[in-house]
Amino acid sequence: MLQEATVNYGAFAAIGAGLSAIGGGIGIGRIGGSAMEAMARQPEMQGKMQGSAIVLIAFIEAIALFGVVVSLLGVLG
């Protein structure tokens, strides 16, 4: 069953995973860029900014991972 499903839907699932990776990449890149810029402007706030940047990245990553999990389900189910 798995074999058959991989042949049929594997490529589409891979495309889906790739698209969600693009979305996550854009989001994380923007957060990282802005956090870097902000830290350069106010180096004394570095610790606080790092913390909130990591949390925001986690939120965006979760959305991207939803996409990956759904693609995985597409392959397995």
Partner 1 sequence: MCIFAPNFRQGIFNQNKGMQINTFKTFLASLFLFVTIYGCASKDQETSLEEREFNGSEMILHHVGDSHSFHVAGEFSLPLPVILWTDNGLVAFMSSEFHHDTDGKVVVERRGQKFVNLHDKIYQLEDGATSVEFNAEHHPENAFRPVDLSITKNVFSMFLSMVLLMLFFMAAARSYKKSTDNIPSGIGRFLEPIIVFIRDEVAIPNIGSEKYHKYMPFLLTLFFFIWINNLIGLVPFFPFSSNLSGNITFTMTLAIFTFVIMMFSSKKYYWKHMLWMPGLPIPMRIFLAPIELIGMFVKPIALMIRLFANITAGHIIVLSLVSLIFILETIWIAPLSVLFSLFISIIEILVVAIQAYIFTLLSALYFGQVLEQEH
47-54 CB contacts, 8 Å cutoff, 24+ apart: none
- Positions that interact with partner 1 (CB under 8 A): 1-2, 6, 51, 54-55, 58, 61-62, 65-66, 68-69, 75-76
Q: Kindly state the smallest distance separating residue 28's Cβ from partner 1, in Å.
A: 13
Q: Kindly state the smallest distance separating residue 20's Cβ from partner 1, in Å.
A: 10
Element (H, E) at 29: helix 2-41
29: nearest Cα among 60, 65, 51, 68:
60
Of residues 1 and 40, the one with the C-beta less far from partner 1: 1
